[in-house]
């Protein structure tokens, strides 16, 4: 379990006890990721914000059912469902491909000061094969452990570990190339 998951787990317990500040802390730690996930699904800033607002309400309502463990996964699952439900209520189908999760820089309201570095990251990830992008999504977007990724993909833990190391190395090389290009 990552430090982020453990921190959010603690905040969910505090939330269940009625601590309003826990919501602000969850927003600070995971709000960007929640909004990123919602944007990738809804492809629309207003809808994504609606989905994240709904997700926070559902997190308050469900905090009593949280039994410990991966707090981040708990929060992101609720966000994903909120975004999908919103699309359904609007009569729209969710059509999400892996590249949608790495297209935030072109989304409405993205921080202009960070657009350049975001583009560099997106371009580097864009040059990975689909499998590599998927590994980056699982590991860094969804904070999944090697074991969870192995269970999801049906591959062995050692294979996932090797593939992740290879992908991370490739990504860093691509990022270094990207940095040189901006100069």
User: Taking Cα atoms as reference points, which of 85, 119, 88, 115 lies closest to residue 102?
Assistant: 119
Residue closer to another protein by CB (options 10, 100) is 10
Burial class (CB in 10 A: 0-12, 13-18, 19+), 154: exposed
Residue closer to another protein by CB (options 87, 128) is 128
Determine the Cα–Cα distance for residues 176 and 14; give it in Å rounded to an integer: 42
Q: Please, are residues 136 and 172 in contact by the beta-carbon 8 Å criterion?
A: no
**Binding status of residue 123 toward another protein by CB under 8 A:** no
Question: Within positions 138 to 157, which residues make up the interface with another protein, using CB under 8 A?
Answer: 139-141, 146-147, 151
**Binding status of residue 15 toward another protein by CB under 8 A:** yes
**Binding status of residue 128 toward another protein by CB under 8 A:** no
**Binding status of residue 163 toward another protein by CB under 8 A:** no
**Binding status of residue 24 toward another protein by CB under 8 A:** yes
Determine the Cα–Cα distance for residues 2 and 146; give it in Å rounded to an integer: 11
Question: Within positions 33 to 92, which residues make up the interface with another protein, using CB under 8 A?
Answer: 33-36, 39, 49, 52-53, 56-57, 59-61, 64-69
Q: Torsions phi, psi of 111, nearest 5?
A: -60, 115
Determine the Cα–Cα distance for residues 78 and 158; give it in Å rounded to an integer: 30
**Binding status of residue 10 toward another protein by CB under 8 A:** yes
**Binding status of residue 172 toward another protein by CB under 8 A:** yes
Cβ at position 48, least distance to another protein in Å: 8
Cβ at position 138, least distance to another protein in Å: 11
User: Taking Cα atoms as reference points, which of 51, 55, 65 lies closest to residue 12?
Assistant: 65
CB burial of 89-113 (b: ≥16 within 10 Å; e: otherwise) equals eeeeebebebeebbbbbebeebeee
Interacting residue ranges for another protein, rule: CB under 8 A? 1-2, 6, 9-10, 13, 15, 18, 20, 23-24, 26-27, 31-36, 39, 49, 52-53, 56-57, 59-61, 64-69, 104-105, 107, 109-111, 114-115, 117-118, 121, 136, 139-141, 146-147, 151, 161, 164-165, 168, 171-172, 175
């Amino acid at each position: 379990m990552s430090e982020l998951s453990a921190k959010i787990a603690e905040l969910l317990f505090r939330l269940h006890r009625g601590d309003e500040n826990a919501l602000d802390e969850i927003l600070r730690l995971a709000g960007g990721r929640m909004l990123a996930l919602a944007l990738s699904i809804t492809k629309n800033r207003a809808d994504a914000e609606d989905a994240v607002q709904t997700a926070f309400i559902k997190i308050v309502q469900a905090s009593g059912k949280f039994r410990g463990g991966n707090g981040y996964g708990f929060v992101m699952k609720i966000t994903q469902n909120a975004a999908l439900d919103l699309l359904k209520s609007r009569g729209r189908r969710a059509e999400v491909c892996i590249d949608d999760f790495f297209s935030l820089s072109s989304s409405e309201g993205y921080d202009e000061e960070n657009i350049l570095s975001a583009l560099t990251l997106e371009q580097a990830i864009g040059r990975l094969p689909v499998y590599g992008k998927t590994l980056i999504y699982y590991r860094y977007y969804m904070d999944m452990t090697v074991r969870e990724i192995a269970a999801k993909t049906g591959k062995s833990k050692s294979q996932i570990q090797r593939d992740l190391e290879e992908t991370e190395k490739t990504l860093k090389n691509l990022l270094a190339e990207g940095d040189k290009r901006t100069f």
